[in-house]
Amino acid sequence: MNSGSRDANKDPLPRHVAIIMDGNGRWARRRGLPRQAGHRAGVKATRRAVEACARRGISVLTVFAFSSENWGRPRKEVGALMTLMIEALDRQVGELADKNVRLRFIGERNSLPDAILERMNAAESKTRENTGLTLVVALAYGGRWDIVNAVRSLADDVAAGRLEPSQIDEETLSARLSLGDLPDPDLLIRTGGESRISNFLLWHLAYSECYFSEGLWPDFNDAELERAIAFFAERERRFGKTPEQQGSA
């Protein structure tokens, strides 16, 4: 966790936005379409969100594309989602690179097909030097997995004598998480009418402002993003302090 992010509460624009993109299946069902059509519409909404965040000068956008729990969905749907991910990477990485977007992936890579891993690695390499929006795609990701992975890394260092248990604190653990080099999300957006975080960035969302939208993800647009940012701008972010302390900071 970048502790400097706790001084960003006076900025009406969030530096880091995280999105749980929910509602593709329901969007398709309401139109009498297969779920795959909803996922394809969701890819278009993701592109709109990336472009909108980049225009507004938001530094980091993290999107929840596929959770570790999503492997439990029907095999046909999972296969279609993997194919869609490959298609999206093939089509859009060049455009992201041209627009100065840096692309990163977080999640359990060992669980992903080789075809996707190859494209992920190539996309990260191609955009590594870009200095605009950082787009983080959480793929085969789970917040609990992330924390366990970080703890295991620290335990390995303790066992090898590289680290003393007494040296482990919040900052040490945070640095081993998938987003350890980025500020925590200031704003979480979830579409689809649900009000839970679904094992997404469990550690990082401790002080995030949460905006829950009734709209389905394929319908997400500039206007809804603007409403979420306006909601964020109205929040008084105290991080456990009193209003008087915040005023004297």
**How far is residue 209 from each of residues 67, 126, 205, 240, measured CA to CA in Å?**
21, 32, 8, 13
Does residue 130 contact residue 101 with C-beta atoms inside 8 Å? yes
Nearest to 39 by CA among 104, 4, 83, 92: 83
DSSP assigned state of 103: E
Radius of gyration of the chain (CA): 19
Contact between 201 and 62 under an 8 Å Cβ cutoff? The reply is: yes
How far apart are the C-alpha atoms of 34 and 30, rounded to whole Å?
A: 10
Residue 135, classed as helix, strand or coil, is strand
Residues annotated as part of the active site: 22, 70
Number of neighbours of residue 3 by Cβ within 10 angstroms: 11
